[in-house]
Amino acid sequence: MPTNWHEGIVRKIESIAPNVRSFLLEVPEVQSFDFRAGQFVTMDLPIGDKRLQRWRSYSIANAPDGSNALELCIVRSESGSGSRFLFEEVKEGSAIKLKGPDGGFVLPEEINKDLVFICTGTGIAPFRSMILDLKKSGKPHRNIHLIFGARTENDILYREEFEALTRTMPGFRYDVALSRQENWPGWKGYVHQVYLQEYAMPRPDVAFYLCGWSNMIDEVVANLLVQLKYDRSQIHYELYG
C-alpha cells in the first residue's frame, strides 16, 4: 500500500514555553486532513541521507475539525538534529514533507470508563486533541482527569486552556505536579504521587492513558500493575523519544 506524503506549509510558529513551540501547519492539497484524536504525523526533514536520520514523528495537538490544519507541539532537544532544524531553519511559510495520520493511541468508540490522562512535557499533545475533540463533538463520555508533570510553572503547556476547561467542561479535572518549584500551591514532585493517591483503590471502571518519556511510563505501569493491582487491559500508552 503506497505511503501518502503531503506538503505541509507552516502558517504560524508560537513559543508556548521555554524550548517548546507550537507549529501550525496547513496541508493545501487536501480539503480536510482527516485524523483521529491521539494520532501522529511523521515529517521527512532534510537532515540526513537515511530514512531513520530524517523521519520525526509528532502527535497532533489540535482536535479534528474537518479542516486541513494541524498543530504540533515540539520541544527543542539539544541532542536532537530534528528539533534543532525545526527551531533554527523552519520559518512561517516553510514547506515540510509529512505523512500520516498514523497510530492507534486513540479513545474507543464507546467510552464507558473514567479517563485518566498522565503525561509530562509535550506528551500532553495527544490528550489535548482528545479532550478538545470530546468537548467539540459532544460525544458521550465519563469523567476525565488530566495529570501533567513539569519542572516549573513556566513549563506548564496550555495552562490557561485547561484551567478554563475545569470551569466549562463537566467532569473534567486538571492536576499539575511541579518537580523543581518549591513555592507552588499544587502538587510538588512528580506525577506518580497524584495517581497513587487519587486511584489507590483499584476500580474496573477507569482507564489510564500515558504519554511521555519511556522511564516515566515504565514507572507508572509498574505502579499501577504491581502496587495498585490494576488490570493490564486498563493501561494504554504512547512512548516518545
Mean pLDDT for the stretch of residues 222-240: 96
Mean pLDDT on 95-123: 97
The pLDDT of residue 241 is: 54
- The pLDDT tens digits for 171-224 are 999 999 999 999 999 999 999 999 999 999 999 999 999 999 999 999 999 999
Q: Are residues 147 and 232 in the same domain?
A: yes
Last residue of a domain, one of 102, 125, 152: 102
Q: Is residue 123 part of a domain?
A: yes
Residue 24: pLDDT over 60: yes
Q: What percent of the chain has pLDDT over 90?
A: 93
Q: Which of 82, 102, 122 represents a domain boundary (last residue)?
A: 102
Domain range holding 181? 114-239
Looking up residue 72, the CATH number of its domain turns out to be 2.40.30.10
Q: Does 127 share its domain with 233?
A: yes
In a domain, 108, yes or no: no
pLDDT at 32: 96
Would you say residue 49 lies in a domain?
Answer: yes
Task: Tell me which of 241 and 71 has the higher pLDDT.
Answer: 71
| Predicted pLDDT at 149 | 97
The pLDDT value recorded for residue 1 is: 37
pLDDT at 3: 66
pLDDT tens-digit readout, 132-151: 999 999 999 999 999 999 99
Domain contains 47 = yes
- Is residue 146 a part of any domain in this protein? yes
When divided into structural domains, the chain yields a total of 2
CATH of the domain at 166: 3.40.50.80
pLDDT tens for each residue of 27-86: 999 999 999 999 999 999 999 998 888 999 999 999 999 999 999 999 998 788 999 999
Would 223 be classed as within a structural domain? Answer: yes
Residue 195: CB atoms within 10 Å: 22
Average pLDDT estimate for 6-13: 98
pLDDT score recorded for residue 2: 46
**pLDDT above 90: residue 17:** yes
Q: Do residues 141 and 72 share a domain?
A: no
For the chain, the average pLDDT equals 95
Per-residue model confidence (pLDDT) at position 146? 98
Same domain, 48 and 142: no
Can you tell me the distance from the alpha carbon of 97 to that of 79, in angstroms, rounded to the nearest whole number?
22
212 with 132, same domain? Answer: yes
**What pLDDT sits at residue 240?**
75
